[in-house]
Structure 1
Amino acid sequence: MFIGVTGSGGKLGRATVAALRERGHNVVGFDLTGTPGPGFVRVDLTDYGQVLDAFLGVTARHDGLDALVHLAALPVNGLVPDAATFDNNVSVTFHALFAAHRAGVRRIVSASSITAMGFPFETAPPFLPVDETYTQANNTYGLGKVVEEAMAGQLASWHPESSITALRFTNVVDETEYATFERAGDPGYRRDLIGTWIDARDGATAVVLALEAAQPGFEVYNVAAPESGLSIPSRELAGRWFPGTPVADDLGEFESLVSTRKLRERLGFVAQHDWR
C-alpha cells in the first residue's frame, strides 16, 4: 500500500515509518519537522486545506493514499495551556480523519491513548487488568482522546468500506530509554501508568498489524507490553495501588494491568522487546 503517516517525526512515528517500509509498503510522512523529499512532505496539520491537499496528492511525491496512520498530536498535557492541548489535538485529528474521508482513504489507524481509560489512575478502575470497554478521561489530553474515538466511530459509519482503528498507546519507550527501568523494584515507579510501557518498535508493529488486518467499521485496541515495567508481581501491585478492586483470576505473574489480550488474540501481536 501507499501509506501516509502523520507525526512521522515523532518517536512512534519514526518507528512506524521504518516498520511499514520493512513490510514493503511505500510511505510518505506528514509533519512540521523533517527533510522534504520522496518520503516526506511538510504539512501544518492545523490547516485543513493543507491536510486535504496533501492527502489528495503532492506533485512529485504521490498521487493519492491507500491508507493513513494518524499519530500527530501534542503528546502530553503541560506543553501548552490545557484548553489549547484539547483544541489542537481534536482539531488536528478531525482534519486528518475528515480529509481522509473526503480523499477516499478507507483504511485508517489512529493513535489514541491510555489517558482515555483512566490515566493517571488516581481513581481505581472497575477491574484489572483494565480493558477496552472502560473509558474515563481525567485531563484535557485524555478528554481529547475520548472525543477523537467517538468522532472516529461516527466517521467510520459514513462509508460502508471505511475502517478506523484506534490504538490506545501507553508510555512509548525507545531503545535509548531503558535505563529508567533501574527503578523497576520501586512500587512508585510508573504508578500513574499502572506499571505499563511499550517499546516504540513494538508499538509500530501494532500499527502495522492493525492496518493490514483492518475491517470495515470502528475498533479499539490497547497497546502495551504484555508484561509490566516492574519487577514486582502484578497482583501485589494491584493490591497495593487499588485495594478491593477485582483482579482477574488468571492474571499472569507480571502481566500488564492494562489488558493486551484483545490485541494478542485478534491481531496476533507478539512483543519483541522487553526491558528485562
Structure 2
Amino acid sequence: MIELKTPAEISRMHVTGRFVAEVLTEIGRIADVGVNLTDLEHHARGMIKQRGAESCYWDYAPSFGRGPFRNVICLAVNDAVLHGLPHDYTLRDGDVLTADIAVKIDGWAADSARTVVVGTPAEEDLRIVRATEEALEAAIDTARPGNRLGDISAAISAVATRYGYPVNDEFGGHGIGRTMHEDPHVSNKGRARRGLTLRPGLTLALEPWFAATTDRIVFDPDGWTIRSADGSRTAHSEHTVAITEDEPLVLTRRAEELA
C-alpha cells in the first residue's frame, strides 16, 4: 500500500534527511588510505547515538540476507556495491568506497548513499561515479506530479546507456516514510509513460547503481554484500526525494552539493 505524506510529515522526514546527509558528509571526509571500514562503522554509530536517531539497518532481516544485519551503515569497496557488510578491511589508494545509510528520527526515515574514490582516483572510476550521480539527478528531475514511475526508471537507464553501462533491475529504489522500505519499487530500468502516476506526497528513495561491464550480481559468503559478477568496479548514488506540487524536494541533499 502506498502512503502519501502530508507537508508536515515531509518536513519531519526532511529533519531526518539532513542528519543522514551530515553522516555521509562526515564518512566521506574521514574515509582515507589507511582507515579501516570498522572505524567508519563505529564513527557512524557514534553520530547516530549522539543525535538520538535509530538505525534502520540494525536487525534488518530481509529474505536475501543471512541473519539480521548488525551494523548501522553499508560499506562496499570496488566491485562491491550494495549491502556491504562492514568488516576488517583497511582502505587502499584508489579504492572505490560506497557508503549507504538509513535512519529514523521521531518515527520518520531517510535513506541516502554516495560513492567516493579514496586517495588517487582512476579516471574510469570517477566516470562511473559521475554516471550514477547524473542518473540520480535525472531521476530527481523526473519526479514530478503527472509523470509515471516508468519515467523515473527510463531517465536512469538513459544515462547508463549514454555512458555505456549495463543496468541491473533486481535491486533499485523504493518508497520510504515510516519505514525504510515501502511501496512502490523503483526499478533502475524501465519504459517511459508506464506504471504508477506520481502524486504530491509520494516519498521515494531513488538509487541508481551501475557496474562497469555487467548487469549480473553475486553475493559474498556473508550473505549480504552484493558484487558485480565479473569483478568490475561499481558506484551507487541515492537520495530520498519528496514529490510536491512544485519542484522535487531532495530531503538528503548534502551541503557540498549545494555549494
Tell me if both proteins adopt one fold, taking TM over 0.5 as the criterion: no
Give 1 or 2: higher helix fraction.
1
Which structure has greater strand proportion?
2
Larger radius of gyration between Structure 1 and Structure 2:
1
> RCO higher in 1 or 2 (8 Å CA, sep ≥ 6)?
2
Q: Give the alignment's TM-score, normalised by structure 1.
A: 0.30
- Please report the TM-score for the alignment, with normalisation by the length of structure 2: 0.32
